[in-house]
Structure 1
């Protein structure tokens, strides 16, 4: 019998207690596991400690799967214990594994091997931002990070804006928190006044900010403080 791969969400914000945003049913799954495939060992250990896992943290096995992990042999090594019957939990640094997250590599490997994959319920910043934006939730695309260089980023913004206008599809993207202010300034400079722009920062944290206005309206307002705050941006109509 193969083991089972559980996708374990964790809080989006490190200022949020796990059981304030996670269903109680997740606790039994977490307590039953001793093997975890994680994006960052220190972050995962802290999450499991705050979650009150029933086993001593030092008895658990942690293997990292992040942007430095090469697809192929390294991923197959992570899956090997499941083939031997040991179940595993995948934990991202924040939110749900496998979405905008390297956890998808091990999930794909499990599907190739016929290993059962079970997603657990938990917060996704992408979906929560879209839920609260008032923009089109029937058709949307997550575009990850935009280019860093201003000319290339401006072209990417215009392309997303055109797609939002032509297809009515909400366009979601993110930026490194320390570059949020530069992205915001360029969005207001590049986009048409009638384009809608939503921003969702610090989702689920006490400092949560979620607001949607047209670009023209945003230009009349004081810029939101987005410096070093994890945020989702959405363009729509």
Structure 2
């Protein structure tokens, strides 16, 4: 579910009341037996707005003093907490909370999303049956995506280079990657990223699965080649 709050922004001190109104208007659409992810998006252009420094945080534990960055995080954290309180009040179960800067249609909008959470539950260390709550503050989602894309490409390039140093045969690598024979390193890398892109950052089990998949495919191709040479 997604709602766009109009004529408001991340500095609106009454933003939680506006969200509460949305919940009341849509209470029949929200299935209480589900667990949700809660995501709040504001326009990324507001990150340089001087209202971050002027914003009044009524919270002795989270004052917006210190550096400009500290003030920004304090305001975003405060607003996310204000909004999320209404989830609890309406018995909406949420363990993943995010506030992020993104490119919305206008700067005076707030986008709010409730997405069914189907991820595996994690629990607070030392406390049985107490599910951990994860709160994320992402000032600029576009910049974060760009950084992640760069890191992914860099790491995959390193993995691919290591494998090519072992295999040392682009024709063989073409067959392993199940594409037409090519000497074009870029084509090979793009196909490798397509098939094994999860290797750069994934769970231990998934990484092991992909490594085994590549190993098995490589052995199959090599054995097939050896058999072909043998039968000549």
- The structure richer in strand per residue is 1
Larger radius of gyration: 2
TM-score by length of 2: 0.25
TM-score (norm: length of structure 1): 0.25
